[in-house]
Structure 1
Amino acid sequence: MCAWSEIFTSKDHENHHFISRPPIFKRWVLEGSHSITNLPFTAHDQSSIEQSKKPQLKERFFHFSSAAVSKLKAKANKECNTQNISSLQTVSALLWRCVTRVRHQANDSETVCKLLVNNRCRVNPPLSDDYFGSPVDIISGTATVEDLMAHGLRWAALRMHLTVSNHDDAAVKKWVESWYRNPVVYKRNGLFHPNTTHIGSSPRFDMYGCEFGLGKALAARSGSMNKADGKVTMYPGREGGGSMGVEVCLLPEYMMELECDEEFISVLKSN
C-alpha cells in the first residue's frame, strides 16, 4: 500500500514512477527443500473457501493514547524488572486478560493468546524488510485461566514477551520443515477457537501515511473476513506518537461485559 501511495505521489508529467524501496521477489526456501510443493488436495472442491455460517458479532474500536500505552508499558516493565517488554506485548497481555475474564471460562481450562508475527527478521541470515510476500507465523502464549487472572498484567506481559523472544531462527525453520513434510492449507474456521484471543496487524503499519488524493484517512478498519469471536486488530492511532487504535470483535454478551470491565476501562480512562 505504501509503495502504491509513493508511486501516486511521485509520478511526473512524463509518467515516470519512483519507489524508494523496490520489492525483492527472490524466494526464500529452506536449505535442502524443493522450491515447489504440491498442496494436499485430491479433488477440486477441497481447495474452495468454506462458507460456514458466521456467528453474530459485536465490534468496537478502542483508542489507546500514547500516554496510556507508555504508562501501561512502564508499569509492566517495572514490575518485571526489565525494559524489554514492548508496547504491543503489553497491550496484547491486557486484552488477553480482559477478554478471558468476560468469557467466564473454567479456572482450570486453557486460554490462548495468538500473535501474528513477521519472520523476516527472525531467520538467519535475515530477510530484507522489502521481501515481497507474507513470511509470517502464528505464535501462542498459553496459560490456565486461574494463572492468567491471579498473577496480574506483568505476568501476562512477560509471558507474551517470552513467547515472541523464543520465536527465533531455529523455531521458524523447524516449523517450515514440518510444513514441507506435511503441507497443510489453513482455513479460517481452523484459526479461531472459543478460548483464544487472536491478535493481528500492527500499530507499526503506516495506515495513515498512504495518500491517494483524498487526504489523510479518517479511520482504519478491517473487512468481514478478518472478524471472529476473539479477533483483535491493531492499528496505529490517527494522531501517531505511539498511540494505538484497537478493533475488538466478540460475541455480544462478551462485548457488553468488556465495555464495563474495570481493568480495561481504567486504562482507557487514562487516555
Structure 2
Amino acid sequence: MTSSPTVTRISECFVKPPDDHLSPEEKQPIHFTPFEILSLNIKYSQKGLLFAKPPPSENQDFSIPVFLDHLRRSLSAALTHFYPFAARLATRIQENPPSYVIYLDPENSLGAKFVYATVDATVSDILTPPDVPLVVRSFFDLNNAINHDGHTLPLLSIQVTELVDGIFIGGSVNHLIADGTSFWQFMAVWSENFRSKDRASISHPPVHRRWDESDPIINLPYTHHDQFIERFEPPPFKERFYHFSSPSVSKLKSKANSECNTDKISSLQAVIALIWRCITRARRLPPEDQTSCRLMVSNRRKMNPPLSDYYLGSPVQVVRATATVEDLMAHGLGWAALRLHEVVMNHDHSKVKEMVESWIKRPVIFKMSHGIDRNAIHVGSSPRFDMYGCEFGLGKAVAARSGGANKGEGKITMYPGREGGGSMDVEVCFGSELMMDMECDEELMSALMVD
C-alpha cells in the first residue's frame, strides 16, 4: 500500500439474544469486583482475526450477504449464553453520604453492535509490511471508548471488514465484563454456533456466578463521573510483530532453565524475559535505573478455592518484576526469566485478598496517565488463548491482530503462533529509534533465526 486506505462503513445494526430468554435470576443486576471497577478509565479491549476468502475456484457459493446474515444469527445465539455482552452499564447515585454504585443491568439489553465495512486492501497489504499498517486500527469499532462509556455505548461491538481477498472479524469489548480469557471463550462459542445447526447447547458455557457472593457492593466516593474519569491518548507509536517458532521457544526455555539450574521457568516467561532485556538494552538506560516488567495475571486459579476457567468477567491483576538495568543486563536470560517466574508464583490467594481489602477501604480508579513508566514494559494477552480455533466457515485464520486501544511505547501483546506447537507471535509497540535498535539486537535476532 502506498498510502493508508480508507475503511468505509456500509451498514450497522444491533444484535440481541432471542426475546425473553432471561430467567428471573439472570435479570438481577450484576455487581463488579474491584479488579473490574478500577479499570473504568481503560479503553475497550480490541482483538480480531484475519481470514482469507475462498479461492476464486471455490468462491462460487460464497456470498457476503449470506455470510453476514449467518454471522448475525450465530452471534444472537452466542449472546444467549453471554447475555451480559448485550446489556449496558447503570449507575445508582446517592449524594449524602456520597455514593456512586456502578453495575450491569441485564434487562437493559439493547444488543451488541454489528458493523459491516469494506476496504480496498489485500491480505498481503496487511501482513507484508514490517510494521502493522495503521489501517488495522480502523478494523475495530469504539476506538476511543473507555469502559465507563458502557453506560451509553454497547459493551460489545463486532466489525466485519471485507478486504479484496479477505475478511477481518474484529471485536471491541468492555473490560469490565471480559478479560482476554472471557473474550476468546465468547469467540469460541460464537464460532461453534456458526458451524453448528444445534445452537441450543455449547461445549463450555460461561460461569456467571460472581467470584465471591459475600463481597459488599462497591460504593465509590463520588457524586459525578467527572470526579474520576480521564481520557488519555499516548504519544504516537508503531507496532511490529516478531515470530518465535516452536524450536526457538524451546531453545529459549531450555537456556533459561539451564542458566538457573531449574525446570520451573515456562516458555512464556523465557520469551518475555528476552523481550524485556532487548527493549531495556535498546532504550540505553543508565545502569542504576530501575526497570520493570508488568504482567497481566488472571486470578482464576490464584483464588482458594479457584474460580472456574470459564468464569465470565475480568478478574485480572498486574504483577511486577523489577531490577536495575545493570543487573538485568549482567545476569542473563535465565536470571530475568526467574524473576518473572517468582512474581507469578508469589501472587497467590493472600495477595489477591490483600489487594481487594485494601482497595475497598480506599477505592481508587486507575488513570492511564499515572501508569506511564518509560523504563517499564507492559505485557498483555496470552499465547495460550485458542485464537486460531475460532473459525467461521473460512478455515483457519491467517493472522490475529489487535486494535490501537490501551497501547503505547513499551506495550507487548502476546499471541499463539499460527502453526501451533508452542510457537508465539509477539507484538511490540515502540517509537522509530527504539525499533531500529531492536532490529540490530544480537540476542533477539539469534533467537528469531532458530529453525
**TM-score bucket (shorter structure):** over 0.9
Q: Does the CA-based 8 Å contact 1:198-1:230 persist in structure 2?
A: yes
Q: Are 2:235 and 1:63 equivalent residues in the alignment?
A: no
Aligned to 1:21: 204
Q: Which has the larger radius of gyration?
A: 2
Q: Secondary structure at the match of 2:240?
A: strand
Q: Secondary structure at the match of 1:84?
A: coil
Q: Amino acid of the residue matched to residue 126 of structure 1?
A: P
Taking a change above 3 Å as real, the CA distance of residues 22 and 131 of structure 1, as seen in their structure-2 partners, is: same
Distance 1:21 1:68 in 2: 33
Equivalent runs, 1:158-177 vs 2, <5 Å: 158-177=338-357
Distance 1:178 1:70 in 2: 40
Distance 2:273 2:423 in 1: 16
Which gives a bigger RCO, structure 1 or 2 (Cα 8 Å, sep 6+)? 1
Q: Does the CA-based 8 Å contact 2:293-2:376 persist in structure 1?
A: yes
Aligned to 2:231: 50
Q: Alpha-carbon deviation of 1:56?
A: 1.9
Distance 1:126 1:45 in 2: 36
Q: Alpha-carbon deviation of 1:21?
A: 0.9
CA deviation string 1:149-184 (max 9, x = no partner): 111111101111111110011111111111111122
Q: Does the CA-based 8 Å contact 1:6-1:18 persist in structure 2?
A: no
Q: Are 2:407 and 1:221 equivalent residues in the alignment?
A: no
Q: Are 2:194 and 1:8 equivalent residues in the alignment?
A: yes
Q: Does the CA-based 8 Å contact 1:30-1:177 persist in structure 2?
A: no
Q: Amino acid of the residue matched to residue 220 of structure 2?
A: L
Distance 2:412 2:235 in 1: 16
Q: Does the CA-based 8 Å contact 2:232-2:368 persist in structure 1?
A: no
Distance 1:30 1:142 in 2: 35
Q: Alpha-carbon deviation of 1:11?
A: 2.7
CA deviation string 1:43-87 (max 9, x = no partner): 2324545143x3121210110000000011011111211111001
Comparing 141-150 with 36-45, which one deviates more in the overlay?
36-45
Q: Does the CA-based 8 Å contact 1:10-1:18 persist in structure 2?
A: no
TM-score, normalisation: structure 2: 0.57
Distance 2:408 2:382 in 1: 18
Distance 1:5 1:186 in 2: 34
Q: Amino acid of the residue matched to residue 179 of structure 1?
A: W
Aligned to 1:132: 312
Q: What is the alpha-carbon root mean square deviation over aligned residues?
A: 1.5
Structure 1 or 2: more strand by fraction: 2
Comparing 183-192 with 139-148, which one deviates more in the overlay?
183-192
Distance 1:253 1:30 in 2: 50
Aligned to 1:100: 280
Distance 1:112 1:74 in 2: 23
Taking a change above 3 Å as real, the CA distance of residues 18 and 30 of structure 1, as seen in their structure-2 partners, is: closer
Distance 1:3 1:47 in 2: 35
Distance 2:447 2:369 in 1: 32
Distance 1:259 1:26 in 2: 47
Taking a change above 3 Å as real, the CA distance of residues 40 and 254 of structure 1, as seen in their structure-2 partners, is: farther
Q: Secondary structure at the match of 2:305?
A: coil
Equivalent runs, 1:106-145 vs 2, <5 Å: 106-145=286-325
- Could you tell me which of 234, 252, 256 is aligned with 2:436? 256
| Pairs aligned (count) | 265
Structure 2: give runs of 5+ residues left out of the alignment.
Answer: 1-186
Taking a change above 3 Å as real, the CA distance of residues 19 and 139 of structure 1, as seen in their structure-2 partners, is: same
Equivalent runs, 1:186-201 vs 2, <5 Å: 186-201=366-381
Taking a change above 3 Å as real, the CA distance of residues 41 and 251 of structure 1, as seen in their structure-2 partners, is: farther
